[in-house]
Chain A
């Protein structure tokens, strides 16, 4: 059975200076994620995600987990993929790409 999924397409980097904006957008999408559903965070347009940006992702993972759903991250570059590995986010969310 196909899982219900919602997608947030990030339009650039997620960094300390725009993290709140991204969180408010993600938060509103999470409201529509159903139990056992998936939140797709499409980060393919992101070249750089700093620690505050990662915190947004962490918050999304936690909030989605509370709804008994999960996060899938679509990643477009190896640098960001390495960061997800170093910070073990790859163990908390599904990583797709690059």
Chain B
């Protein structure tokens, strides 16, 4: 038979060592419109498949008991090589119970001997349809994978082309992702960084997110504003993409427009996590308000926008998949972003816990001088003054955040950092904020590029007080008084400490050998 010949009903391979069964069943199948190849053993059936190829056949009908390889072993071979190809095993009545379980495990059909022509007709028809259905799905999956891969390549190329030292991590939990990032150059040395996350994980999510970026690019090139882009896309989602009979898509997005000349930043957010901005010290704060804003496509509402200035340092932004994963593993999103952006380390074990797509971008602000490496933000925590009871969990959060970035960190250095961080926080919450929920304490932690330095900043909203380290330190140690021992540790352990605003702002630096703590 010509390998390209195909029957309208389907191409079958009939395997049975009994010549009369092959003749009888083969004739039945041909009358049903199938094109039938025959083989007297599993070995010859394999040869036949090798000749025609798996994709030629829509169904294999095989006897169970055959000399040499039996039907079940043959089924395992088929399942392994082409899981989309349906197999029906023919059995005599006594074997049925044994085979039922095994066959069901492999998603295979079976038919009893002697063959009932009506039963054969229905079973073969169902099995061929199943093969065609599974192959259709596989084909769609391949296309989706190609699309997802193209998406990844395009994202990386586009970002690198527009922003030389941009750091980017992207991973999709499905074939194509609704997470998308682009950099759009604008007039007068301005640049827009646009991050979006369409709801859902289907191809339509990827299409929608890409459409949004294309629309933004086109409108901005024609001197439209980013506000107009957000408003227009909200209108599209509200009025065109959402129909009563469909569950429509929404889109979370934020945009950052950097004006290099004026060192200003225009920020818009619609339902996306707030980006974090840090100066050269790496102490990061949220760009926008902490309050949430609805994604585009939900309401006829406006979005959050803010204009501010920026300084040399980093901006880090991500989609909500990263926020969710950080919460799941109990670390700061900034530390997780740093970990994922470290290309020297794999992310598969980390991503196993993720349930969503993740896109992360970190970039130096345009005013950062060439060759300057700002500190990298790792922790940004704002605490109400009454959180003293949570000090253990806050310490654990910080430890995990440091460890995920520097798993090989020297244990004694880590102890030094943690004890000072703990003391600083207790001091700020207890004495600075007087444990009042009306006052707040901020904790910021950053690292140098080579991990030779970790910096901590702790600030509280209290009025502070003057403190003479030497007098109190000596008194505390000589007379064994219980007070001030924490402050003495903070003064003595770090490589450098800087106390300002009457003690309500403390900066501590911890130094070690460069790269000593980097994971290999």
Which of A's residues lie within 8 Å of B, judged by CB?
Answer: 15-17, 47-52, 54-55, 58-59, 61-62, 77-80, 82-83, 86-89, 91-92
Contacts and interface: CB of A to CB of B under 8 A. Distances in A.
A87 B392 CA distance: 23
B391 A16 contact: yes
A77 B477 contact: no
Contact of A79 (B392, B416, B477, B488): B416
Contacts of A77: 411-412, 415
B466 to A, nearest CB: 19
B478 interface: yes
B493 A86 contact: yes
Contact of B423 (A51, A62, A78, A82): A51
A15 B392 contact: yes
Contacts of B422: 15-16, 48, 50
Given A61-B480, A79-B412, A82-B416, 18 more contacts: A15-B391, A15-B392, A16-B426, A17-B391, A48-B418, A48-B419, A49-B419, A50-B423, A51-B423, A51-B426, A82-B493, A83-B492, A83-B493, A86-B493, A87-B488, A87-B489, A89-B477, A91-B477
Interface residues of B, number: 26
Interface in B389-412: 389, 391-392, 395, 411-412
Contacts, number: 72
B391 A87 contact: no
B477 A87 contact: yes
Overall SS of chain A's interface? helix
A89 B489 CA distance: 12
Nearest to A86: B492
A79 B478 contact: no
A96 B412 CA distance: 17
A96 to B, nearest CB: 17
Overall SS of chain B's interface? helix
B94 interface: no
A47 B415 contact: yes
Interface of B: 389, 391-392, 395, 411-413, 415-416, 418-419, 422-423, 426, 476-478, 480, 482, 485-489, 492-493
Given A15-B392, A48-B418, A51-B485, A58 B480 contact: yes
A58 B418 CA distance: 21
B477 A50 contact: no
A86 B488 contact: yes
Nearest to A47: B415
Given A79-B412, A82-B493, A86-B488, A59 B482 contact: yes
Contacts of A58: 480, 482, 485
A44 to B, nearest CB: 13
B493 A87 contact: no
B419 A87 contact: no
Given A17-B392, A51-B423, A89-B477, A78 B412 contact: yes
18 contacts: A15-B391, A17-B391, A17-B392, A48-B422, A49-B419, A51-B426, A55-B485, A58-B480, A58-B482, A58-B485, A61-B480, A79-B412, A79-B415, A87-B476, A87-B477, A87-B488, A87-B489, A88-B478
Contacts of A49: 419
A2 B68 CA distance: 83
A22 B476 CA distance: 21
B385 to A, nearest CB: 16
Contacts of B485: 51, 54-55, 58, 87
Between A15, A51, A52, A61, the greatest number of chain B beta carbons within 10 A of the residue's beta carbon is seen for A51
Shortest beta-carbon contacts, A-B, top 5: A51-B486, A88-B477, A86-B492, A79-B415, A79-B412
Contacts of A82: 416, 492-493
A15 B482 CA distance: 14
A59 B389 CA distance: 23
Contacts of B418: 48
Contacts of B412: 77-79
Nearest to B480: A58
Nearest to B487: A51
A50 B392 CA distance: 11
Contacts of A92: 480
Given A16-B426, A77-B412, A79-B416, A86 B478 contact: no
B373 to A, nearest CB: 28
Between B478, B482, B493, the greatest number of chain A beta carbons within 10 A of the residue's beta carbon is seen for B482
A47 to B, nearest CB: 5
Contacts of A83: 419, 489, 492-493
A77 B415 CA distance: 9
